Amino acid sequence: MAGYVPARVRYSRIDAIVRDLLDDHDVVGPAVPVDGIARALGLEIKEGKLGDVSGMLVRTDAGAVIGVNSKHSEGRKRFTIAHELAHFLLHTGLLTHVDRDFRVNYRNEESSQATNVEEIEANYFAASLLMPFDFLEMLDAEDAVADDEEAAALARTFGVSQHAMSLRLANVYGRYKPF
């Protein structure tokens, strides 16, 4: 049994959820404490060796666990937690039977390629949560679109990779920053 898959990306809904999360958890600037938010929502976070998988969300009757690849950088781990949190809040997951029924969402190479609506939503949610537009504006981030050093400094401030920051800046400010 597969869960509901939206026909198109629900950007406005995601923006509202992110605003509510930031407000509910009194987050007023970077870096967003994504692990604290996930734990406050009842999710457990576990790190482990996951091979080529960045992360996963496992739902059981007892609760939900976000699994994060322990070999990844801190910035990537934070993005993975935010990505899996998106699946938790937005998607029902896939029903799988292994000993008992549970729901699993994986984050891997395919998830970053924008090939399905759930993954596009999870990536948009993660970028919006970790690098909120208002926080970018507060730091006059638009100039960093064309400046690698400024983008790197913002990435450190927000606790994300420079690649994630560059993509977010390009999406927010409407210009792609070539590498």
Sorted by where each starts, the structural domains of the chain and their CATH numbers stand as 11-130 (1.10.10), 132-179 (no CATH)
Under 8 Å between Cβ of 65 and 46: yes
Predicted local confidence at residue 113, as pLDDT? 52
Predicted local confidence at residue 167, as pLDDT? 92
Under 8 Å between Cβ of 65 and 96: no
Q: How confident is the model at residue 94 (pLDDT cuts 50, 70, 90)?
A: low
Predicted local confidence at residue 46, as pLDDT? 95
Predicted local confidence at residue 103, as pLDDT? 40
Give the whole-angstrom CA distance, residue 66 versus residue 150. 32
Predicted local confidence at residue 101, as pLDDT? 34
What pTM did the predictor assign?
Answer: 0.84
Share of the chain above pLDDT 90, in %: 58
Predicted local confidence at residue 93, as pLDDT? 63
Residue-wise pLDDT tens digits, 95-145: 432 222 334 444 445 545 556 888 899 999 999 999 999 999 999 999 898
Provide the token pair at 66: 């976000």
Pinpoint the alpha helices (H) of the chain: 11-24, 34-40, 74-90, 117-130, 133-138, 148-158, 162-173
Phi/psi for 173 (5° steps) reads -100, 5
Predicted local confidence at residue 106, as pLDDT? 45
Give the whole-angstrom CA distance, residue 136 versus residue 131. 7
SS3 84: helix
